[in-house]
Structure 1
Amino acid sequence: MLTIHHKTYIKIPKEIVYKTITTADGWNAWFTDQTSLNMNADGTGDIRFKWSNFGIENANLEDGGKIIESIPNKKFVFQWSPGTTHTTVTLKLEPYKEGTLIDLTETGYAKSDKDLKACIGCATGWGEALTLLKLYLEEGIVYKQDL
């Protein structure tokens, strides 16, 4: 099974990082355009990501799925379908130095051509996304590409 794994240090308390990755306003501030997120009291729910004129292809993209688990200031887990299968994205937050170590893992890709292409794209994309999250939280910089 194919797996994506990234870690990034963000010099911001985990409470702020958690709020940014578990709210629609948080995602829309630095990465997406019209994300919707509904969280139940038990930490489950659903998430829908939307991008307009994204990337060099100026694509309009939408994807999302179930929120599997949300543990305040520690973990956020959701599913989506960037390829042919549902994959699971786990974002773990750990205190580190003066901030937070965010550990992202995505699992569940099949060994099909479409999933391999999606996995490669998401491996690159998640690395870029974590960099954008870091720039947004540490420096207040928002970079949404409009090509």
Structure 2
Amino acid sequence: MPEINHKTYIKVPLEDVYQSISTAQGWNAWFTDDTSLEINPDGTGEIRMRWTNFGSEHVTIEDGGRIFEAVPNQKFVFQWSPGEQSSTVTIKLEPYKDGTMVTLNEIGYTNSVKDLNACIGCAVGWGEALTLLKVYLEYGIVYKQDL
């Protein structure tokens, strides 16, 4: 089955990256418009992501699902449904040089036309998203309004 894999180096501490991917305020600062999430003490929870006026077609997109694992400064794993069925996004953080290596993996797509289209879109989208996260955390630049 198709799988998405990305890796990028961000020259900020693990704690800053984790804060940006494990809180609604963090997601909304660099990528989404109205994300809400709740993490339970056991590291599970729910995430709802929302983009308004998104892309060249200026659509509103809402998605989200369960948070399977939220391990501070190490890992954030959640489910969403950009395709035919739910997929799982795993974001791992590791110390690297004087910053953080961010590894993103998404699995769960089938070979259906709808899933393959979603996989291709998300493969590009996650690459762009990690670039937005890097630029936001390293330079304080927010560039989400024109996506």
Q: Using structure 1 for the length normalisation, give the TM-score.
A: 0.98
Q: Which amino acid aligns with 1:54?
A: F
Deviations 1:31-88 (A, max 9, x none): 0000000110000000000000001010100000000001110000000000011100
Report the CA distance between 1:9 and its aligned residue: 0.1
Q: Secondary structure at the match of 1:109?
A: coil
Report the CA distance between 1:145 and its aligned residue: 3.0
Structure 2 matches for 1:71-86, cutoff 5 A?
Answer: 71-86=71-86
Structure 2 matches for 1:1-147, cutoff 5 A?
Answer: 1-146=1-146
Q: Which amino acid aligns with 1:137?
A: L
Q: Which amino acid aligns with 2:83?
A: G
* Unaligned segments of structure 1, at least 5 residues: none
The 1-side partners of 2:143 and 2:83 are apart by 26
* Unaligned segments of structure 2, at least 5 residues: none
Q: Secondary structure at the match of 1:2?
A: coil
Structure 1 residue runs of 4 or more that deviate by more than 2 Å after TM superposition: none
RMSD: 0.8
The 2-side partners of 1:15 and 1:140 are apart by 16
Q: Using structure 2 for the length normalisation, give the TM-score.
A: 0.98
Report the CA distance between 1:144 and its aligned residue: 1.4
Give the percent of matched residue pairs that are identical in Structure 1 and Structure 2: 69
